[in-house]
Amino acid sequence: MPRLARRRQPLNFYDLFGLGGSEQAADQTLAYFLDPEERHGMGTRFLDSLLRTLHGAPTVDRGGLRDLALDAETVVGAYGWRVDRQVSAAQVTEPLTEFSWPGIIDVYLTNDELNLAIVIENKVGAALHNPLESYVGHAVEDGYETVMLAVLAPYPHTLRGDESSWVSRAITYASLFERLGETEDADTTDVNLQRSAELLRQFREIRERSPLVTDYTREADFLNEFRNLLLGREKALSQFFQAQVDANKLCRARSKNLEPLIRERLDKVGLRTGWESTSSVPGRWATAWNAYHLIDSNNSVELILTPDPNRAGPITAKAYPGRTYKLYPGLDHVLIGVQWGDPDEDVADAFIAFAQRVVKAHPFGA
């Protein structure tokens, strides 16, 4: 079967490490570029974009929205900001009994000289269900006269119910980046400036790739190509997927059958165990395991059952010191001398022999 061509999108750091939908990664990136003192070399440019996006929005206090609006031009260009992430709103001096839970502020900007605090609730692929009143209360308790609360998301966010009483403005990444303007390559030999410029471009790319702003043309081409590839192969594919399901079930069932036999033999040879696990993980190729921590030698051994053709066989074993999961060299999914057609008793015996070899080679878990 010919290989399906991959969708051609530029390499992106956030995609590569599975961080595209990570709110924490977005918080960390925001905090870095919002801090004028950081190594990106942009000074207040990114922060000023946020401030100008909030220009004219109402400030907020314990009573909710105020009549006083933010005049961004009086605060842009200022330094002396402190940028914090994941701030517990429980750090208040008086109990806020009306709040059911305090919550965590995603990004918290404060400037003592300006007497200004900005709370950013960053929403990446999640609905807004946060104790916004406690966030405001936290900033008020910190002594700031002017408080802003912004909800930042890849998409326009409609405020509902009590949310509208506490949010100065709901803004989008697109509006923030529009204020920022285009980011160019850093014309410098300073590696921090070069990498920061590239990081910002990739962050902008991943944030602007939300469901409401994505061009679906490439995805449509991919799906059409995939559907065409399946034509005429439906029966064979159906048989394959059913066989795959059945093979995965066999591994899980045999792992459970082996558990009492392994337990009996461990006790017989005096291999005492602490933590142990007989379980499996789903996936294209399910993996079932019988894992044991041998407490006297501080080693862990696992019997692995899987139909995965990339493994040495359907029955393998591995070992590592303690509970570190850092496998011993040469003991990563190794064959132990039995095949699937051998009796359960022989498989259990072979695994016990493997465990004894591990203990002999590593009597102190190292």
Q: Between 259 and 6, whose confidence is greater?
A: 259
Give residue-wise pLDDT tens across range 59-73. 999 999 999 999 999
At 181 the pLDDT is: 79
When pLDDT is cut at 50, 70 and 90, the band that residue 206 belongs to is: confident
| Average per-residue pLDDT for the chain | 87
pLDDT at 95 > cutoff 50:
no
- Full-model pTM: 0.56
Q: What average pLDDT does the segment 87-111 reach?
A: 69
User: Cα 55 vs. chain centroid, distance in angstroms?
Assistant: 33
Residue type, 357: R
Cβ atoms of residues 233 and 1 within 8 Å: yes
Q: Which stretch, 100-104, 127-131, 157-161, 177-181, has highest mean pLDDT?
A: 177-181
pLDDT at 49 over 90: yes
Phi-psi region of 283 (alpha: psi -120 to 50; beta: other; left: phi over 0): left
Residue 101 reports pLDDT greater than 80: no
Q: Where are the domains of the chain?
A: 13-207, 242-361
pLDDT, tens digit (0-9, with 9 covering 90-100), for 208-254: 775 544 445 667 778 888 888 888 899 999 999 899 889 989 999 99
**CA–CA dist 166, 120 (Å, integer):** 12
The encoded tokens of residue 270 equal: 């005096």
pLDDT for 39: 93
Checking if the pLDDT of 32 tops 80, the result is yes
Please tell me the distance from the alpha carbon of residue 32 to that of residue 109, in angstroms, as a whole number: 12
Contact 85, 126 (CB under 8 A): no
* Contacts of residue 312, Cβ cutoff 8 Å, sequence gap at least 6: 333, 334, 335
Percentage above 90 pLDDT, the chain: 56
> In Å, what is the CA distance from 320 to each residue of 66, 354, 360?
61, 12, 13
Euclidean distance between CA atoms 262 and 100, whole angstroms? 49
pLDDT at 307 over 70: yes
Q: Is the pLDDT of residue 92 over 50?
A: no
Confidence of residue 8 (pLDDT cuts 50, 70, 90): low
State the Cα–Cα distance between residues 147 and 144, nearest whole angstrom.
7
Q: Are 102 and 131 in contact (CB under 8 A)?
A: yes
Q: How confident is the model over 91-109, as a mean pLDDT? A: 63
pLDDT tens column, 319-348 = 999 888 789 999 999 999 999 999 999 999
Helix (H, G, I), strand (E, B) or coil at 310: coil
Candidates 303, 355, 309; CA nearest to 333 is 303
Task: Give the tokens for residue 148.
Answer: 């802003």
pLDDT of residue 90: 57
The Cα 66–Cα 63 span in angstroms is 8
pLDDT, one tens digit per residue, over 156-187 is: 877 878 888 999 999 999 899 998 876 665 56
Q: Look at residue 93 in the predicted model and tell me its pLDDT.
A: 40
Residue 73 confidence (pLDDT) = 94
Rounded Cα–Cα distance for residues 64 and 224 (Å)? 51
Bigger pLDDT: 270 or 160? Answer: 270
- The larger pLDDT score, comparing residue 191 to residue 6, is at 191
Q: Which of 87, 98, 30 is nearest to 64 (CA)?
A: 98
Q: How many CB atoms lie within 10 A of CB 190?
A: 11
Q: How far is CA 43 from the centre of its chain?
A: 29
Could you give phi then psi for residue 238, rounded to 5 degrees? -60, -45
- Tell me the pLDDT tens digit for each residue of 284-298: 777 889 999 999 999
